[in-house]
Chain A
Amino acid sequence: MYNDMVTLQTMDTIFYEAQRQGRISFYLTTSGEEAINIASAAAIKNDDFVVPQYREPGVLLWRGFSMQEFANQCFGNKADYGKGRQMPIHYGSNKHNYFTVSSTIATQLPHAVGAAYALKMDRKDACAVTYFGDGGTSEGDFHAALNFSAVTEAPVIFICRNNGWAISTPISDQFRSDGAVVKGRAYGVRSIRVDGNDALAIYSAVHAAREMAIGEGRPILIEALTYRVGHHTTSDDSTKYRPVDEIEWWRTTQDPVTRFRKWIESNGWWNGDIESELRSSVRKQILHALQEAEKAEKPPISDLFTDVYDVSPSNLREQEHSLRETIKKHPQDYPSNVPI
């Protein structure tokens, strides 16, 4: 678990800087929420469907998504599973049972209920796990999804990453209820509040939740209290709406990675040497993946038209033909790294 938390942290740092250098167009960090990402992933099994919002690449990391695969998606190159169609950080992998990220807030919550419903109908020993932030609890889909999951007795684990901020909106402007945990109770869903920066607490809560969800066929809501240390995305500068010392306090004294490290060190399983070794090797790996992904070719122009339907209908074939004609007429305006 600690390995992955460090990897996640390092990946975030390097990819964020890559965006600042202009190498990738967009990025979104998970700083301060590494424990939620990794520990919750560790407590569930590979058969469980993960329906993420967008701040949970750690779950994919735990399931075996490689640095190269992450970088490929961010660069939108030929090897990207999404075929270059989505923004960076909108990972998705059906072989890892991780639904593709969709930018819209809270729309994934009913999807998770649907996925859990499917698992229940198929009588699988698996559940659906979905993540969302404090801001997501204001959306209509959140309320209906919780309500539905309770009524249909669907095995879903709702994990709310209450990190205090929805871009620039603090939770005091988001809701006046006592967090998200009371909302779960209101819908008849068993809920619990956990310290989101304590990896062990998250692990044991999610583990217990999974047993309850599958064994008793019911939804569970876990509210993990944490802090969004980074900016909302690379398009944001959070110092504009919150004090710098608040960010610093959470980043230094409340860092979940440091906290977990102190615990494993105190148990004698870790020390400073292994730490520096890990960090430097991870860093090398990530930089290498970044370079490889940058060099790789982009997906071909035909991928603009495939997968809209299972088979391309006539209007799309026509449009592709017309595009290719235009490219032939104006080859100098066409980018060189996108194969025809």
Chain B
Amino acid sequence: MAAIFLGVGAATALSPSNCFDSKKFQLSTRRSLSGRKPWFLVVRSDGSVNLGSNQRSRRTQQLITNAVATKADSAASTSASKQGHELLLFEALREGLEEEMDRDPHVCVMGEDVGHYGGSYKVTKGLADKYGDLRVLDTPIAENSFTGMGIGAAMTGLRPIVEGMNMGFLLLAFNQISNNCGMLHYTSGGQFTIPIVIRGPGGVGRQLGAEHSQRLESYFQSIPGIQMVACSTPYNAKGLMKAAIRSENPVILFEHVLLYNLKERIPDEEYICNLEEAEMVRPGEHVTILTYSRMRYHVMQAAKTLVNKGYDPEVIDIRSLKPFDLYTIGNSIKKTHRVLIVEECMRTGGIGASLTAAITENFHDYLDAPIVCLSSQDVPTPYAGTLEEWTVVQPAQIVTAVEQLCQ
């Protein structure tokens, strides 16, 4: 299905830089939250335009910002207590990291520019000043080697967190991750554990070019011995970071470049999220939509349209990419009997492909329709903003897919 957005040239109207203005998003979030009106534009695949409530020229700009910043309203209401404090996703990651570093002196960080520079996305800001250069280590540019160093340190008793400046760079570390990180616990007969966390931002950003827009969860998913999780909100970012650090297994934590400035109110009390659990974002009856990371927001936006049209989608953020939480997913399928997977990975060999296979194998009898999987095309991500946007699944396509699925 190649439903394309027409007239969304406003992608380029946004600030061209990679890091966007957090204030701008904060405002739109507040507005959409308080307004509770469908603040969107739906463009159908046949080119006809369906009006939301707003048809101003600003709408397309609004559309894109909403896609990122309109975190599920439910998330805010369900996860936050009356107290709590507001922060951005990258700050949540840092908070989780700091709490774990306080709690256990063996936790340390290594990566490029994580020390005094504070990390390219400021996740480790301030940590070097607090814990010293040895615990927040700036490494030379050799991903395979500093990942290997992390593995060696983990085997000796430390709990390192290795930061890839961009997930795509971790392709250089693939040898260490596959051959050693995943294998050594097994081949040593359980004698050596590797409690390492490998994290970094991935996914399609704003015109970062093909090399910096990769979805590495596709490539890593086969490696035995590792766990993979993807965070999508400040709440689960902090929770998953803490759980990953405490886990005895090597965990790869996928963050998304465009989600770092999401704002949410999270609890003051300490909490961790289960690494193998999926998150129910919106319960529903008609169709199960499985997604993760940034696509969650596109799905939630589409959900608003769908609700207006009378559909009741159940949205699950799978969070755990390896292993899949087939319990939660299964229960949902048994209820709705229809599945739509929305992902950012490529069509071939992505998380969606594996999930489709897993669901078909386990829940075939409960399905009333074939599983639909919306993914990016099998192309390198183009630089041009308009083209880039068409490689990522947009809310309109999700709406169309649900409508077709529920016929």
Q: Does B52 contact A (CB under 8 A)?
A: no
Inside 8 A of A113's CB, which chain B residues have their CB?
145, 148-149, 152
Q: Is the CB of A144 within 8 A of B184?
A: no
Known: A111-B155, A121-B135, A141-B148. A148 touches B192 (CB 8 A): no
Q: What mask results when residues 135 to 152 of chain B are scored 1 for a CB within 8 Å of chain A, else 0?
A: 101011010111111111
Q: Is the CB of A315 within 8 A of B323?
A: yes
Q: Is the CB of A147 within 8 A of B142?
A: yes
* 27 interchain pairs, CB-CB under 8 A: A85-B186, A85-B189, A86-B187, A92-B188, A99-B155, A100-B192, A110-B146, A110-B147, A110-B149, A110-B176, A111-B180, A114-B148, A114-B155, A114-B156, A115-B153, A117-B134, A117-B137, A117-B149, A117-B153, A118-B153, A121-B135, A141-B144, A148-B142, A307-B186, A308-B224, A309-B227, A310-B247
Q: Is the CB of B155 within 8 A of A109?
A: no
Inside 8 A of A120's CB, which chain B residues have their CB?
134
Chain A contributes a number of interface residues (CB within 8 A of B) equal to: 49
| Residue in A148, A306, A310 whose beta carbon sits within 8 Å of that of B149 in the complex | A148
Inside 8 A of B346's CB, which chain A residues have their CB?
none
Known: A93-B191, A104-B175, A118-B157. A111 touches B148 (CB 8 A): yes
Q: Does A199 contact B (CB under 8 A)?
A: no
Q: Does A90 contact B (CB under 8 A)?
A: yes
Q: What mask results when residues 193 to 208 of chain B are scored 1 for a CB within 8 Å of chain A, else 0?
A: 1000000000000000
| Residue in A81, A117, A141 whose beta carbon sits within 8 Å of that of B188 in the complex | A81
Q: Is the CB of B152 within 8 A of A94?
A: no
Chain B interface size, under 10 / 10 to 19 / 20 to 34 / 35 or more: 35 or more
Q: Is the CB of B145 within 8 A of A309?
A: no
Closest CB in chain A relative to B227 CB, distance in Å: 7
Q: Does A168 contact B (CB under 8 A)?
A: no
Interface residues of A (CB under 8 A from B): 49, 51, 80-83, 85-86, 90, 92-94, 99-100, 102, 104, 107-115, 117-122, 128, 140-141, 143-145, 147-148, 151-152, 306-310, 313-315
Q: Is the CB of B148 within 8 A of A118?
A: no
Q: Is the CB of A92 within 8 A of B191?
A: yes
Closest CB in chain A relative to B282 CB, distance in Å: 25
**Closest residue to B362 on the A side, CB-wise?**
A318
| Residue in A82, A83, A313 whose beta carbon sits within 8 Å of that of B276 in the complex | A313
Extra inter-chain contacts (9) besides given A145-B148, A307-B190, CB under 8 Å: A80-B189, A92-B188, A102-B179, A104-B175, A107-B179, A110-B146, A110-B151, A115-B156, A148-B139
Inside 8 A of A51's CB, which chain B residues have their CB?
152
A29 to B224: give the CA distance in the assembly, Å: 31
Closest CB in chain B relative to A333 CB, distance in Å: 24
Q: Does B225 contact A (CB under 8 A)?
A: yes
Interface residues of B (CB under 8 A from A): 108, 134-135, 137, 139-140, 142, 144-158, 160, 175-176, 179-180, 183-193, 224-225, 227, 247-249, 276, 323-324, 326-327
Known: A120-B134, A145-B148. A114 touches B153 (CB 8 A): yes
Of A111, A148, A306, chain B has the most CB atoms within 10 Å of the CB of A111
Closest CB in chain A relative to B323 CB, distance in Å: 5
**Closest residue to B193 on the A side, CB-wise?**
A310
**Closest residue to B133 on the A side, CB-wise?**
A152
Q: Is the CB of B144 within 8 A of A307?
A: no
**Closest residue to A119 on the B side, CB-wise?**
B156
Closest CB in chain A relative to B324 CB, distance in Å: 8
| Residue in B144, B153, B192 whose beta carbon sits within 8 Å of that of A94 in the complex | B192
Known: A109-B148, A313-B323. A308 touches B185 (CB 8 A): yes
Known: A144-B142, A151-B140, A310-B248. A111 touches B323 (CB 8 A): no
**Closest residue to B134 on the A side, CB-wise?**
A121
| Residue in B148, B157, B185 whose beta carbon sits within 8 Å of that of A122 in the complex | B157
Inside 8 A of B187's CB, which chain A residues have their CB?
82, 85-86, 90, 92, 100, 102
Q: Is the CB of A49 within 8 A of B176?
A: no
A137 to B186: give the CA distance in the assembly, Å: 27
Inside 8 A of B153's CB, which chain A residues have their CB?
114-115, 117-118
A184 to B7: give the CA distance in the assembly, Å: 59
Inside 8 A of B140's CB, which chain A residues have their CB?
144, 147-148, 151
Inside 8 A of B326's CB, which chain A residues have their CB?
314
Inside 8 A of A118's CB, which chain B residues have their CB?
152-153, 156-158
Inside 8 A of A100's CB, which chain B residues have their CB?
184, 187-189, 191-192
Q: Is the CB of B189 within 8 A of A107?
A: no
Closest CB in chain A relative to B127 CB, distance in Å: 15
A315 to B180: give the CA distance in the assembly, Å: 22
**Closest residue to A87 on the B side, CB-wise?**
B187
A314 to B328: give the CA distance in the assembly, Å: 13
A83 to B187: give the CA distance in the assembly, Å: 8
A100 to B185: give the CA distance in the assembly, Å: 9
Q: Is the CB of A141 within 8 A of B224?
A: no
| Residue in B150, B157, B175, B188 whose beta carbon sits within 8 Å of that of A107 in the complex | B175
A152 to B156: give the CA distance in the assembly, Å: 17
